[in-house]
Chains A and B, each alone.
Chain A
Amino acid sequence: MGQNGKRVVAVTGNEAVAEAMRQINPDVCAAYPITPATDIMQRFTSFVSNGKVKTEMVLVESEHSAMSACVGASAAGGRVATATSSQGLALMWEILFIASGTRLPIVMSLVNRALSAPLNIHGDHSDGMGARDCGWIQLWSENAQESYDNMIQAFRIAEHMDIRMPAMVCLDGFIISHSIERMEYLDDETVKNFAGEFKTTNPLLDIENPVSYGPLILTDYYMEYRRAHAEVMSKVSKVVLDVAKDFEKISGRKYGLFETYRLEDAEIGLVVLNSAAGTSKDVVDEFRNRGIKAGLLKPRLYRPFPYEEIGEALKHLKAVCVLDRADAFGASYGPLFMDIASGVYPHKNGPLLINKIYGLGGRDYLPEHAETVLAELAEIAKTGKVKTLREYIGVRE
């Protein structure tokens, strides 16, 4: 036991997420195993079997059923959590919209993995990107610590009375889910108090006040419900920041809508999600040591996307490269690029943007990749000329 009841541990990302779930102690979890998220629920079911949590564990026959059971349990009035990856998330897709459209604050960790075909089990953001517009809140995490911290905060954000929306916590498959890192756990009591008692809204199990879920809403009202959903999403940023403030008090760790690294006076910058941000920061330091003003921005709240805030944070740069670990198959730029471009768009003298697709199917993202990109950005900043708007990193010709 370290100071203030914090425990310094060496654990994998999956272990950290399972520990956060144990400390939150949800009422119901429904899950189906899928690599690389399997380990989270495997550990959590041990907690259930060993009486460490009072959770009702529902082992279902598919992810479609897992999310359906989560929807039912959440509508019934329980605090609900699950975990998945890749094909599992794809199979949940139909029910993801039902969870968000019905305003059910389910929390799910998504261990990011490439989508089939070809079959691949490694870290890639295609799964999370495919579900970015399903009405869920998405928090992305660089390492095990952030995965743990985001998981704990996700319950507060999703369950906030102004929000009541499901939230997904993303972490990179294998790179984070299966690598051991040094990190800090909070003590059980602190997490329990932070998460607070679960408050219900229109629970199905309240038989004194009968309610119906899932009515048919046709042309006369569907658009109004969608407009109302968008309105709720517009309030998420504020809640995320408020929850982060409270979280800082218990953990000493600061969180925002995104992280900026040496960006304030930067001329060139990288924008990258999750684990690749760690590698990139080292290379940013190297460039700074050589007198080149490099910086980095790592989005955390990816949905709803803080367009204005990110536009403000990037507008003074000369050149920015957005790195996407998901492809759009020649139809357009990577998904992160399109969001960053939309954020920067209102700023007339904003940075020149380029897009690189990297790390698909778990392909290594190495310091030399970041070096090549930053060198290209330095050249663009100097000449004001972009040679290639979009290309792949580390692919064999």
Chain B
Amino acid sequence: MKPKGWKELKPGAVVTEAGSAEKFKTGSWRALKPKWKEENCIQCLFCWIYCPDMAVRVKDGKRGEFNYDYCKGCGICALECPGKKGQKAIVMEEEGK
């Protein structure tokens, strides 16, 4: 997309399009990548609640794969994940490994 010139901007940088953050893929900021280990998952959906972005997919009330387009790798989901029998269902791995 060609960047806009100053004459085309919305006054006061007000964002008038609802949900337009979806167009801004922030996944490239990530240094650590969360990995979902389904076998340890108890479907509590804490990860979905705590994720500050929209990087945990949920379908029909069930935990789905991460959406790496938006995951910034903050690690909050991994910290909050209770997992099963002391085994986390989310582990952070170094990006590019």
Contacts and interface: CB of A to CB of B under 8 A. Distances in A.
Interface of A: 101-104, 164, 201-202, 209-215, 217, 220-221, 223-225, 227-228, 231-232
B65 to A, nearest CB: 28
B15 A103 contact: no
Interface stretch (B5-13, B51-59, B73-81): B5-13
A213 B14 contact: yes
Interface in B1-49: 3-7, 9, 11-16, 18
Contacts of B15: 211-213, 215
The main secondary structure of chain A at its interface with chain B is loop
Interface residues of B, number: 13
A101 B13 contact: yes
A39 B6 CA distance: 42
B47 to A, nearest CB: 25
B78 to A, nearest CB: 26
A228 B6 contact: yes
A201 B16 contact: no
Contacts of A209: 16
A198 to B, nearest CB: 16
B16 A221 contact: no
B6 A103 contact: no
B9 A104 contact: no
B72 to A, nearest CB: 14
A220 B15 CA distance: 16
Nearest to A227: B6
A361 B15 CA distance: 44
A104 B12 contact: yes
A101 B11 CA distance: 9
A224 B4 contact: yes
A217 B6 CA distance: 13
A232 B6 CA distance: 12
A101 B6 contact: no
B3 A225 contact: no
A40 to B, nearest CB: 27
Shortest beta-carbon contacts, A-B, top 7: A103-B12, A224-B6, A212-B15, A227-B6, A102-B12, A210-B18, A103-B11
B9 A225 contact: yes
A215 B23 CA distance: 14
24 contacts: A101-B12, A102-B12, A103-B11, A103-B12, A103-B14, A104-B12, A164-B11, A211-B15, A211-B16, A213-B15, A214-B13, A215-B15, A217-B13, A221-B9, A223-B6, A224-B4, A224-B5, A224-B6, A225-B9, A225-B13, A227-B6, A231-B6, A231-B7, A232-B11
